Amino acid sequence: MDFSLLIGGEEIRHDSFQAESLFYPGYHCPVTSAGPLDVARAIGSARKAGRSSLPERAACLQKAAGIFSYNQEHLEHTVKMTGMPLRLVKDLYDQIPTFISQVAQTQQQRYTRTRKPAPLDLEVINPGLYKVLVPAEGFCYAMTPGNDPRAAALLAANLGCLGIPFILRASARDAAAALTLKALIESGFDPDFCSLIYFDRASPETPGLHFRLVDASSVVWSFGPSAIVDPTQRFELNARRAVLDLDNQEFQGITQEDLETALSEKNPAQIFRQMRIEPELTDHFAGKIVIRHESGNCALIATGHLDDPMSEVLYQSTGYPAVCMAARSAMVVDSPGWIEETVEFYSSLKTGDPLDPDTQVGYIPSRDLDVMYGLLRLNASRLAAYGGKRISPIQAAPLVVAAQEDLPDFFAREIPTYVLAVRECSSINEAVDQINRYTTSEPRLAVSLLNLPENLRLEAIKDLRAHTILIDLPTTTLMPAFHEGNDYLIQLTQGKLLVIGE
């Protein structure tokens, strides 16, 4: 599958390499990697891009939603590069046009033409707590692209509607970035307005070099080297809070001559220092707070029985192991039998080739499975394990870990596998205390409340340390509302966002 590099709407071949699949031997795709001069050129083109009115941009987005299309090859590529089951990948792709059109509708109301967020138009329940309906009100925000194919589409749509020229840093894993950029340009966006960049992951020092060139007001990147999760990292109760303050900084432009001189002298530090951006603080969208979430995973609080609707919520919450919106732990309140029901449900899921439309449990990088089994052995005396049989070096049955003891390796950290750590709690207060106990200095991305009566919901909402609380919805509902890289939602980081269904 051929991915082209777009800079100002032109396809270039600066530095091609082969992205290899970890799961399908022999499968690879050519990817074009941008060099520093290409990045500089893209920045310059974006700054010169024409600005249309907000209604015109919204109309282009609506048209782009109709133009966006994919084929079986795109789906299979994403499956082969991520290991996610085909049924889930197809579901994500099918949602992209809806999300793009929703962005066009909601951003007209929420943002002014000065690119500053308009006053919150959410229902205020009490100070610091807001309520929004999904998807009726178009719960869509700009999002840094990652393993979710919707991410690139949402990021591009938001920035396009806001009138902020951008470079989209894409991953070799998904095809949606290239398809979305193609739809935007065909719908009428200036080709100089949006660019697509791939980075060669085989050269880890290269992205670090590029990130230090970023003018945060016009260029958006997905992540830097420091944002990659270290599989050896252990739970840290008071992790460092990373803050990137761009309010009072004046960025000095970098000309192509300056860049060539710096690179030829192999001493770019002076030019990079002009940007005043610390190399390790790279995960941002012209924003103020950089959320780190290597620990303090998404979680569930559940009561009652695991009926069919809740089984689907559980599957959707845990079925995307490579994303940080996946739930890794659950606190069960006064519900004997919930663990047994969960084990039975997980054992009924079909494992196999992710390209098989019936497969529900896909592939996982062998190194991540090795980490999970290492933690299982390390904590064997303090937990009960159900399932998790290793089927091959890259696949295992879902694992349920039950424990009443202190177990940060499973309750606090993100393990990108099909694993759910469960603790039985006697009250909602105990469940909330346990989730907060394993939360780092930043709140958790999301906590879903499943089957909770209204009085227990109110107790949980009041005290949970989480950016977003979802009612009977999967934690992965947060994908199109991801807080990281989102200027609008960053305003809510000191409060909570409550999300309910229609």
Output DSSP code: residue 288: S
* Per-residue pLDDT, 256: 44
Question: In CATH, which of 3.30.1370.10, 3.40.50.620, 3.40.1010.10, 3.40.309.10 is domain 298-482?
Answer: 3.40.309.10
Name the CATH superfamily, with its identifier, for domain 5-232+241-290. Answer: Aldehyde Dehydrogenase; Chain A, domain 1 (3.40.605.10)
**Residue 133 is inside which H or E element, if any?**
strand 129-133
- Non-local CB neighbours of 495 within 8 Å, separated by 6+ positions: 127, 128, 129, 130
Other beta carbons within 10 Å of 99: 24
Instruction: Give the Cα separation of 164 and 99 in Å (integer).
Output: 19
Instruction: Give the Cα separation of 264 and 451 in Å (integer).
Output: 62
Burial 183-192, CB ≥16 within 10 A → b, else e? bbbebebbbb
* Per-residue pLDDT, 497: 60
- What does the radius of gyration of the chain's CA atoms come to, in whole angstroms? 22
* Per-residue pLDDT, 431: 97
* Per-residue pLDDT, 442: 64
* Per-residue pLDDT, 40: 64
* Per-residue pLDDT, 37: 64
Instruction: Give the Cα separation of 482 and 111 in Å (integer).
Output: 18
Q: Phi and psi (nearest 5°) for 148?
A: -90, 120
Give the Å distances, CA to CA, from 2 to 13, 67, 356: 12, 20, 23
Other beta carbons within 10 Å of 413: 24
Of 406, 399, 400, the closest CA to residue 381 belongs to: 406
* Per-residue pLDDT, 22: 92
Q: Phi and psi (nearest 5°) for 97?
A: -60, -40
Q: Phi and psi (nearest 5°) for 390?
A: -80, 120
pLDDT per position in the chain (502 positions), as tens?
566 677 777 777 666 778 889 999 999 888 777 766 666 667 666 656 666 777 888 899 999 999 999 999 999 999 999 999 999 999 889 988 987 887 777 656 554 444 444 333 445 555 544 444 332 222 222 334 556 677 677 777 777 776 666 777 677 777 888 888 889 999 998 887 887 877 655 554 544 444 444 443 444 443 333 333 333 333 444 433 322 222 333 323 334 454 445 445 544 333 333 333 232 322 333 332 333 444 457 899 999 999 999 999 999 999 888 777 789 999 999 999 999 999 999 999 999 999 999 999 999 999 999 999 999 999 999 999 999 999 999 999 999 999 999 999 999 888 889 999 999 999 999 999 999 998 876 677 789 999 998 888 878 887 888 777 888 889 887 654 443 334 333 333 345 566 665 5
What does the H/E/C string look like for 173-212?
Answer: CCCHHHHHHHHHHHHCCCCCCEEEEECCCCCCHHHHHHHC
Domain ranges of the chain: 5-232+241-290, 298-482
Q: State pTM to two decimals.
A: 0.77
Of 177, 99, 97, the closest CA to residue 144 belongs to: 177
